[in-house]
Amino acid sequence: MTQHDGLDANNHPMDHFPVRKLEFCFENIEQKDPLWSRSSPDFSMFINALGVHVPHFERYLVKTLIETKSKIADEKLKQDMSAIIGQEAQHAKNFLNYNTWLAKRYPKIADLENTAHEYFTSHSKTDSIKRKIGYTAGYETFTFLAGLIILENYDHWMKDSDPVMKALWIWHQVEEIEHGAVAFDVYKALYGDNEWYRKWMVLAALIHIAGETTKCYIAMTVVEGYWRNPLRGIRKMGFCGYMLLRLLINALPVFKSNYHPRKHKLVAGKKGLIQIAWRRYERDGGNVLSINHNKMAEILKISVPRI
């Protein structure tokens, strides 16, 4: 173990993060239910909707950082770029498979996903290098923040949930936190004197994330029949709006001139122990492809399962 491997509360999770090659089996989801969190079914729907377009962004990120790597002189940053490329490639593979499973319940998801694919494929070909790096850093702001917020609220949103989906999202959010500074550092290394453009790309990314998530979320609420009672439909949409607003509020520090992801107040939040415990458990050979109550207790080394 290195001195800075993210496996101790005194070390930083963004130091020396690995690539983990994991493959989740979505056919094992309990009762084949896409509303997989009994703690918060609304959270299930929101995070499902958010995740539909994300693997296509992740492929955009991979292409962008591969293209940009030769322009970076700092060897440590180049190592981190290699690691984020590996992590995001694994994320994209698993979430594309999940989208295929999800579309069985929500047929419109296939069309919305195809639109996302076309958007990022086109922009990967036509965007300038500066725009690619800026947009990637902007997007990573929110995947990073989502990781922090979700783990911070594990008890409210994920404690009682399907073991496969719990495992998928803990893995994803831990790794989003681990590599949450890489795209930011690449942008600063190449265009550090242009702060206004970086901030504009944060807003552009949020607008796109909000639009894509809302379209998918609406499609899911229709299938679930929530709009048969308009008040219920509006209430469900309120949760989506609340979550997007929460992302925006937690992104406010990003607009400060001295901001760096490593220093965000949530990185060392009270749920940081989940990150540390999961990393240690996975590093020691624990199976993290399915996490039920007993497995979570084992990961956290507590005697009573977290139900």
Neighbour count for residue 78 (Cβ, 10 Å): 15
Question: pTM (2 decimals)?
Answer: 0.92
Q: Which of 102-116, 129-143, 249-263 has the lowest mean pLDDT?
A: 249-263
CA distance 138 to 79: 21
User: Does any domain span residue 61?
Assistant: yes
Contact 273, 280 (CB under 8 A): no
| Domain extent at residue 184 | 38-263
User: Does any domain span residue 9?
Assistant: no
Which tens digit of pLDDT belongs to each residue from 139-164? 999 999 998 899 889 999 999 999 99
Which tens digit of pLDDT belongs to each residue from 268-304? 555 578 888 999 999 999 999 999 999 999 998 864 4
Say yes or no to pLDDT of 242 above 60: yes
User: Does any domain span residue 96?
Assistant: yes
* DSSP state string for 96-111: HHHHHHHTTT-THHHH
Contact 269, 148 (CB under 8 A): yes
User: Does any domain span residue 168?
Assistant: yes
Say yes or no to pLDDT of 307 above 50: no
Say yes or no to pLDDT of 261 above 80: yes
CA distance 88 to 139: 13
Say yes or no to pLDDT of 113 above 50: yes
In which region does residue 6 sit, left (phi positive, over 0), alpha (psi from -120 to 50) or beta (all else)? left
Say yes or no to pLDDT of 80 above 90: yes
Say yes or no to pLDDT of 71 above 70: yes
Helix (H, G, I), strand (E, B), or coil: what is residue 50? helix
Structural domain count of the chain: 1
User: Does any domain span residue 81?
Assistant: yes
Residue 2, pLDDT score: 41
Note the residue count of the chain.
307
Residue 276, pLDDT score: 87
CATH number at residue 155: 1.10.620
CA nearest neighbour of 154 among 3, 272, 8, 280: 272
Q: What's the mean pLDDT in 127-138? A: 97
CA nearest neighbour of 305 among 52, 172, 235, 295: 295
Longest CA–CA span in the chain (Å) reads 58
Residue 304, pLDDT score: 44
Residue 7, pLDDT score: 56
Give Cβ neighbours of residue 251 (< 8 Å, ≥ 6 apart): 141, 142, 145, 202, 206
Cα four-point dihedral sign 182, 183, 184, 187: positive
Neighbour count for residue 168 (Cβ, 10 Å): 26
Say yes or no to pLDDT of 306 above 50: no
Residue 303, pLDDT score: 47
Q: What are the φ/ψ torsions at residue 22 (nearest 5 degrees)?
A: -115, 145
User: Does any domain span residue 297?
Assistant: no
Between 6 and 109, the more confident residue is: 109
CA nearest neighbour of 218 among 80, 108, 307, 110: 108
Q: What's the mean pLDDT in 170-197? A: 95
Say yes or no to pLDDT of 3 above 90: no
Q: Show the CA angle centred on residue 180, arms to residues 177 and 182, nearest 5°.
A: 145
Rg value, the chain, Cα: 19
Task: Judge residue 169's burial from the number of C-beta atoms within 10 Å of its C-beta, 0-12 exposed, 13-18 middle, 19 or more buried.
Answer: buried
- Mean pLDDT estimate for the chain: 91
Q: What's the mean pLDDT in 60-76? A: 96
Residue 275, pLDDT score: 86
Q: Which of 3-7, 60-64, 72-76, 137-141 has the lowest mean pLDDT?
A: 3-7
User: Does any domain span residue 46?
Assistant: yes
User: Does any domain span residue 1?
Assistant: no
